[in-house]
Chain A
């Protein structure tokens, strides 16, 4: 199956005053895939993402999103993408329904708040204030706001950082569900298990450069082919499986 390219990044460079955060990155994201940007903290994942999201000026290079050039028409790009930011917040005193009204207005669209909240398992919290939510709920709400404009691409920046195992698993299901409706997902993470389960392809970034890009399976096969062996025999379950089988897979709301 040949899929068309929805994001094309070419020779992207971002220099801050002294730091070279992104140092000539090129990659493509295919329509309908979950694409992961992996790398340690400070590798340039977030900077790369924020340039594509129109939130940051680039130093040089080209970015084309769904055929729209970032330089020519950033505002049209904003209309077809959904963005979840690391550590972004909302008016703390507003109820979720009111915040959804706000974002519906910002995207010039109208939505059914209940349906939108149901997507992320918050259908009973429409009248709760944002500040009353738990960390995982805030993260899910944040993802809900990315879906309001029925975007072609959703960007998720470390969506599972700081969440408990249940919340993480359920967020994975949510992300897969978003993709199953045809939405392309670009995600950054530094959890490799997450990337392995979710991503169709990943790019590994280190010091502002892509050092490897392929499907997780292929990358693992390549490593094994090079003679790599884990020191310890892997059991067919790990501690997380134990934890989840003991505590259940359900959302933990409080």
Chain B
């Protein structure tokens, strides 16, 4: 007899996963939020590429910062200085395009020349060029001043005085061939991270709220499936759907907008693994929301409280470095920061899972906290 066969929870779970997946793909808002929305942002930001002229310039720690060029340079508009980093760190940042150029000011040159060394990288070609032309202007101006002074001098003693006040300056230039870091390389991981967050929180909250409210869950309870398998089935379908969505975003990002995948397919796979981890962690928020929401109308505001700050503060659109220090403290607590950061490192710097173990660890810690809350707040009936 049929009922004497061992009942398979896995088979029942698969049935729920398939049904739930069908339900998700017929839900237009799921498709729009998970795929269309991030793509719109990617397209929009892909086109306003490089419109903001904010340059991060590294100052070599061995620089002499008493020279005149240095002082005129730091008062130029649009410049953010990175001064407290070692040469190695600066070079690394330059390579990744996090710093647009490195300058080394040399005042006490024995030839009597003031020298400025500039290193730029393809990782930030346009901004590097901008820094270069800025510094070239300053050098030209200074040199012109010097020769004016010299030609006005009559004897050797006045030349010496002229030399005291202004010196000729030499610009030495180095270009490193860093990888080209495009706007899309910043925007896409952020969009991916955010679409995972919002799909996980909103999707899970709405689905479990409505399954509970319309008594779909109750009908399941009357069948032999155990409750954890109902959740697993639902979670599995969301995971598959979201990973498909992420794949589409990566595919279009890479082939249409030139998103950098350093190790090609392998990088994409690591990014998908990270997406899966992020999704699982963020779904915990969704379970909490579905539990504390007293009516369907309060789900969006509660879910927004969770997603919006992370949208703004976790490096989705703006690098966290751009925020004031006190705000960065908040950014550095929120989980999406670590997902976005990990995604960017993997995609652009070719980091392996071991290189982003800190980010993964923090996400897992968040997972533990969120699921502890979910166990406390989740309601079946």
Contacts and interface: CB of A to CB of B under 8 A. Distances in A.
B214 A89 contact: yes
Interface residues of B, number: 29
Interface string A42-85: 00000000000111000000000000000000011011110101
A102 B3 contact: no
Given A90-B216, A101-B18, A105-B16, A53 B222 contact: yes
Size class of the contact patch on chain A: 20 to 34
A128 to B, nearest CB: 13
B215 A78 contact: no
Given A99-B19, A102-B19, A79 B7 contact: yes
Instruction: Provide the main secondary structure of the chain B interface.
Output: helix
A109 B5 CA distance: 10
Nearest to B25: A93
Contacts of B221: 54-55
Nearest to B225: A106
B12 interface: yes
Interface in B178-230: 214-216, 218-226
Contact of B222 (A54, A93, A94, A98): A54
A102 B15 contact: yes
B20 A107 contact: no
Contacts of A119: none
A236 interface: no
B218 A85 contact: yes
A162 to B, nearest CB: 16
A83 B18 CA distance: 22
A149 B5 CA distance: 13
A94 B3 contact: no
B224 to A, nearest CB: 4
A104 B223 CA distance: 10
A108 B215 contact: no
A88 interface: yes
Given A55-B221, A99-B19, A106-B15, A79 B215 contact: no
A87 interface: yes
Determine which residue in B8, B23, B219, B225 has the highest number of CB atoms from chain A within 10 A of its CB, and name it.
B219
Contacts of B71: none
Contact of B14 (A78, A83, A105, A145): A105
Interface of A: 53-55, 75-76, 78-81, 83, 85, 87-91, 93-94, 98-99, 101-109, 145, 149-150
Interface of B: 2-3, 5, 7-8, 11-12, 14-16, 18-20, 22-23, 26-27, 214-216, 218-226
22 contacts: A55-B221, A75-B226, A83-B219, A85-B222, A89-B214, A89-B216, A89-B219, A98-B19, A98-B22, A102-B16, A104-B15, A105-B15, A106-B12, A106-B220, A106-B223, A107-B223, A107-B224, A108-B8, A108-B12, A108-B224, A145-B219, A149-B223
